[in-house]
Amino acid sequence: MSRIYLDNAATSWPKPEAVYTAVDCYLRENGAPAGRSAYVQADEVDAILAAARAALARLIGAASARQIVFTANGTEGLNIAIHGLLRPGDHAICTAADHNSVLRPLRHLEAHGQITVACVPCNPVGLVDPQNIRRALRTNTRLVVITHASNVTGVIQNVAEIGRSVREHGARLLVDAAQTLGHIPLMADELNADFLAAPAHKGLLAPLGTGLLYIRPGLESELQTSRQGGTGTRSDEDQQPDSLPDKFEAGNHNVPGLVGLAAALRWLEMRGIANIQAHEHALSAQLREGLRQLRGVMLHCDEPALASATRSNAQACRSVGVVSISLAGYDPQEAAAALDANFGVQVRAGLHCAPRMHEALGTLHRGGTVRFSVGAFNTVEQIDAAISAVAKLAAAS
């Protein structure tokens, strides 16, 4: 039984062949740290990481590669921005569509009496009304956090409009691009993002343990550091450098992962993000259409529902390749286990670390949904097989 991997919203698989080759070559033939030495192999590592940083800057339209901070994952990037920016007495805004990587840091700060938080609701397909963000702004609002696309329904938020309101108010906008970077073309400035965090192991096709935080030029001075240590620069001083990216990159880098990221970015540039978007959109449309026709299957955020909910805003009438369903007669975990055991279809079931999103969908009490998420290497044949597998489960319930 062949493996049909449809859990790319958790982490992408497979990776481009060049990623495996680059990581293996580094581990076997190089092995040097980054930014710590001056011998040949260390210089090679520094050049590879510089190329990766520059490629990320090109990918999101950053003015300088220095505005890209390497992180261990998207969660670390979000935490650097949230904990680094907010001060006692501040007000922050998040949304019901957000992941726990946003909700938990904000809740932690609120629980310790440092800040207050407003959570703006979303509609039943996961879309946040920009006007509700505007109405939630207060005089002491310092930060607004918005997920670019829901990891449950796939709906893409109108971040650009939200960002305009936030900037006019004088607050900062942090964009969680975990489900969009590498899947769709995006420019940080067009989104009016002050900060943008994302993992690199999802749409960017890099190994786990990699991610990034983009910091808009000049805003690095507003972020306090929560971790200090060696950077390989200004080693004669016992204070953390205040320049980017060293300010937020204390300690040794995950060089094997970043070498893999560099190879993945080269592959993405050759393939083209727009081409990947078209490929994944076609597959997710095929998946939605096939699932919609099955009895006993409830499709959350299908295209007709999304179009109806976002009729007044054409830009928001889009989604990434994330499709969630409920299957009559099955607990989500049971359905996912049966798909894997009987058909080799691998998906994710549960709450997807987005409890407020499931509350909005009405799926929280049911234990969440069964989530299918397509990637760059999925095929039409695999989607057909997944639809057939769900049909057989539905018929047996």
Could you tell me the CATH number of the domain that includes residue 290?
3.90.1150.10
Q: Are residues 66 and 145 in the same domain?
A: yes
* 182 and 281 inside one domain: no
CA atoms within 13 A on the CB side of 194: 26
Q: Identify whether residues 134 and 249 lie together within a single domain.
A: yes
**Which residues are CB-contacts of 95 (< 8 A; sequence separation ≥ 6)?**
119, 120, 121, 122, 128, 133, 145, 146, 147, 157, 356
pTM: 0.95
Rounded-to-integer distance, Cα 149 and Cα 316, Å: 10
When divided into structural domains, the chain yields a total of: 2
* Residue 336, amino acid: A
116 with 162, same domain: the answer is: yes
Paired strand residues for 7:
373
In 148-291, the DSSP E strands lie at: 172-176, 195-199, 211-215
Q: 288 and 261, same structural domain?
A: no
Using CA atoms, how far apart are residues 172 and 163, in angstroms rounded to an integer?
Answer: 8
Residues 6+ apart with CB under 8 A from 231: 35, 240, 241, 246, 249, 250
- Of 222, 245, 269, which marks where a domain is finished? 269
Domain CATH number, residue 90: 3.40.640.10
Q: What is the pLDDT of residue 317?
A: 43
Same domain, yes or no: 365 and 386 = yes
- Taking only the tens of pLDDT, the chain with its 397 residues reads 799 999 999 999 999 999 999 999 999 999 999 988 889 999 999 999 999 999 999 999 999 999 999 999 999 999 999 999 999 999 999 999 999 999 999 999 999 999 999 999 999 899 999 999 999 999 999 999 999 999 999 999 999 999 999 999 999 999 999 999 999 999 999 999 999 999 999 999 999 999 999 999 999 999 999 888 877 777 777 887 788 898 898 889 999 999 999 999 999 999 999 999 999 999 999 999 999 999 999 999 765 555 555 444 444 348 999 999 999 999 999 999 999 999 999 999 999 999 999 999 999 999 999 999 999 999 999 999 999 999 999 998 7
pLDDT of residue 28: 98
User: What beta strand segments (E) does 55-183 contain?
Assistant: 68-71, 90-95, 115-120, 141-147, 172-176
b/e code 54-82 from CB counts within 10 Å (16+ = b): bbbbebbebeebbbbbbbbbbbbbbbbbb
Which one of 269, 302, 319 terminates a domain?
269
Q: Final residue of a domain: which of 269, 289, 319?
A: 269
Extract the tokens encoding 39.
């011998």
Q: Yes or no: say if 202 and 280 are a contact pair by the CB < 8 Å rule.
A: no
265 and 301 belong to one structural domain: no
181 shares its domain with 224: yes
**Which region holds residue 227: left if phi is over 0, alpha if psi is between -120 and 50, else beta?**
beta
375 with 253, same domain?
A: no
Same structural domain for residues 257 and 304?
no
pLDDT of residue 271: 98
State the residue range of the domain holding 121.
17-269
Q: What is the pLDDT of residue 302?
A: 64
CA distance linking residue 273 with residue 252, whole number of Å: 30
Whether residue 219 is found in the same domain as residue 304: no
| 105 and 144 share one domain | yes
